Amino acid sequence: MKLHLAAALLGSLLCASGQAADAPFAWPNGARAAVSLGYDDSLDSQLDNAIPALNRHGLHGTFYLQLSNPAVDKRLAEWRAAAQKGHELGNHTLFHQCSHSKKDREWVQAHRDLDTTTVAQMKDQIELGNTMLYAIDGRRERTLTTPCGDLQAQDGNYLPAVQAQFLGIKAGTGPAVMPSMAALDTQAVPVAAPSGLTGQQLIDIVKQAAERGTMVNFTFHGIGGDYLTISKEAHEELVAYLAANRKTYWTDTFLNIMRHVRKVRGK
């Protein structure tokens, strides 16, 4: 995803804190909140910096692979090793179609413009993406993050055509902290893609989730490199905090969190 977000976005990431809270949600082992650490676009800096940090602290993240990215082909063994360590490999489509017609989307290439891509074409490439991911990690259950949060293809919203294939989907944009677990749509979980935030600012967002008893859904891009970057130091501070507070925060893959939410709801 290539959303233009920076430190000034912190207020909107925390906007959910002013809303009325649900009854406490039943997270595993009495945790007060769930934390999903997601990483989009299959970037080199995620392999170089994010995965080593998670491994050091014994935490699992979700890495959404844009399967046409050269970093998938060139570093396939490393992505497979990440899956073997317990990290989730998620579907981020083959070609990362986003809508060129939206503001600041000059970078969207004509052959990857969602505005001129049909629902059937998106369905085909997402299904093929699942097959390719199965060839990498041997898993069938999957989650999806829609590129740029865009859903409107040339002939309509493509999400209904692919929802049945996934236990959870990140779609659209919204706050990092979920305002309500009762109202959360597991097939359209809002995406927040913070960049330029400090470790303490990220931790403050996590604390808001604990106060509400819900979950925080981070979708990072570059970690100490690439674009929409969070520094290595900020990421390390966040991960170390989560590891030191495991009783308060259940940090796991997006797939495992969505599986648990569905189980608690009975569906």
Read off the pLDDT of residues 81-114 as tens digits, 9 standing for 90 and up.
Answer: 999 999 999 999 999 999 999 999 999 999 999 9
Q: Is 143 strand, coil or helix? A: strand
Q: Could you report the per-residue pLDDT of 23-34, keeping only the tens digit for each? A: 779 999 999 999
Is the model more confident about 265 or about 68?
Answer: 68
The answer for residues whose C-beta is within 8 angstroms of residue 131's C-beta and 6 or more apart is none
| Tokens 């740029």, residue located | 148
Residue ranges per domain, the chain?
Answer: 7-265
CB 132 within 8 A of CB 219: no
Q: Give the chain's radius of gyration (CA, Å).
A: 17
> 7-265 is classed in which CATH architecture?
Alpha-Beta Barrel (3.20)
Sign of CA dihedral 81, 187, 182, 41: positive
**18, pLDDT greater than 90:** no
Burial of residue 12 (CB within 10 Å: 0-12, 13-18, 19+) is middle
Q: How far apart are CA 190 and CA 181, in angstroms?
A: 12
pLDDT band at 3 (very low <50, low <70, confident <90, very high): very low
